[in-house]
Each structure stands twice: as structure tokens, then as C-alpha cells.
Amino acid sequence: IGFGRNINSLEDPGVPFLRSFDRAQQVFSIRFVNPMWQVVRMMGAFGEGEVREHLRRLDSYSRDTVRLLKEQLDSETEHNSNFVSLFIRSAKKDNKTYSDDFLRDLVLNFLIAGRDTTAQGLSWAVFLLMQHREVEEKMIAEIKSVVGDGPVNYKHLEQLTYTQAVINEALRLYPSVPRDVKFLAEDDEIPGVGRFPRGSLLMYLPHAMGRSKKIWGDDAEQFRPERWIGKPFPSFFEYPVFQAGDRICLGMRLAWLEMKACFATLAPRLRFEFVGPVEDVIVDHSLTNGMMNGFPAQVSLR
């Protein structure tokens, strides 16, 4: 979808590009919370010593992707419908040109925004459903009622309101991006906190906001999809899973559709069971909300 290349991560989880991608994200996530990160970088500690090699590998892969996409568009041997190809094709029609650096950044942006976020959201949703079988059964009943025995289509996905509530609730408790930052474009004031000058870096924590009793009530720590049924959708400034305002995530609805399509296809057919203790599944706080040491599970047909 993003840029039309298969990284083969399922066949080979140890792909060097993906190892570099994950490690670079871990290093940069530490920088967000360590005011001494520049000193740490000079010392080469906490992965800083290897980050240049990881960035070189990411840069090489992304530039190679841009080159291949341009060659395919120039030859017109195939019609690519991935986002980056569509962007380049649209720019040509409008007589606009973009540098390879810009297109490289576009490739990385799609990868960062799309690779981990939906997959991790699904993983945490399955993790929660395995602990709340009554919610899982209610979701499956809705899917069977709406979809039946045929293939899933777009109209079906629009009708899966309880499944959407399950997804919203899972992302509330385990947002794909647990913390994020904003730079002030001008001097501004945060009510009850104080004034900050232009250029200040402010961090906010969707992971903490999703569990705040001030926002969600006394049961904020509980997995309860019913809180999303029959009520207006909350402000994205209270539920910043996809950010909010002018900078809201462009892929939000695509992510929702992908997750609902996965559940609609798999949930009625497969049952997931824990292999080890629930306590072994630990949040790996990188730039995205992964699972430390993975999520071992046993899968069987229903």
C-alpha cells in the first residue's frame, strides 16, 4: 500500500533493514525522555554508537525504493497504485518536481506510520480479547450477523459498530504511539501549566491520557468497549491516538478499516490462547507501543 515493495518480514523476521528500523526507533525514543542524550550520543552508549549504521541502511533502502518507483513510472510497464507512486504521478501531472531527499522522507514516513501502528494495535486488541472472552463472543456474533458466510466487503465494515468499539477501546489502553511531541510555532500558554516560548518542545502522553480517570471515569483502566456505544465520539484532543486538529493522522480511517477487516475475516474462524502467563506480555516503549519479547500464542480453528 505504502510504496509497493515486499520486505518479506513474515518469512524472515531478521531482515537487516527491519532490524535497523526497530533499533533506530528505540534509540530515538530514549532521546525524547533523556535531557542528556547529546552526551550519551558522544559516549556511544544506549545504542547511540551504532545508530549511524542503522540510519545509513534506512537511507540506502529508501533511496533504492524511490529509484525503482521512478524507473517503473518512466517505463510505464506496470501501473502502480501504491501511495508514493500515486504521489509522484500526480506531481508530474501538475508539473511539480520533488527532490529524492523529499521522496526518501516520504517513504520512511509511510513506513513509520503504517508498519507498526496497525499491527501493534491488532496485537494489543487480541491480547485484551483473550482476557475478555465475553467481549470476543459479542464481537463475533456481530460479525456473523453482518457478514454471514460470504466474503467481507466495505459495506459490512461500516456496519460493524461493536467491532469498531473494541478497536477504539484497545487503542485507548494501548495507543500505537504512546508519547508524542509538538514544537510551538509561537509563544503560547497551556491553561493551568504556564506560558512557553516559541520553539519549545512539549511532550504529551496518549498512553497516560487513555488511562486518565479525569477523562474516562473511575473505570479508565478497564477494557469496556460499551463506553463507545450510543455516545458521541470524544474529542481527539482527549483521545489523541491519531493526534488531533489539522495534524490528525491521514491514515486513521485506513487503519480502522484494516483492523476491522482482519477481525471480520479471522475472529469467527480462529481462536487464540495464551502460551505463557499474561504477565509475560510487557509493553516495549519505543516510538511505537510494541510488545517486549513478542506475544506467544496458540492458534486453533473454531
Binding residues: 249
Q: What gap in Å lies between CA 284 and CA 292, rounded to an integer?
A: 5
Query: Given 83, 249, 262, 295, which residue is catalytic?
Result: 249
| Active site annotation includes 242 | yes
Q: How far is CA 164 from the centre of its chain?
A: 16
| Active site annotation includes 117 | yes
| Active site annotation includes 249 | yes
Query: Given 3, 83, 242, 263, which residue is catalytic?
Result: 242
Q: Containing H/E element for 274? A: strand 270-274
Q: What gap in Å lies between CA 211 and CA 220, rounded to an integer?
A: 5
DSSP letters for 98-151: --HHHHHHHHHHHHHHHSHHHHHHHHHHHHHHHH-HHHHHHHHHHHHHHHTTS-
For the chain, what is the radius of gyration of the CA atoms? 21
Query: Given 21, 83, 110, 117, which residue is catalytic?
Result: 117
- Tell me 241's DSSP state: B
- Binding-site residue positions for heme: 249
Per the CB < 8 A criterion, the answer to whether 293 and 259 are in contact is no
Q: Three cell numbers at 134? A: 465475553
Q: What gap in Å lies between CA 261 and CA 225, rounded to an integer?
A: 18
Residues marked as catalytic: 117, 242, 249
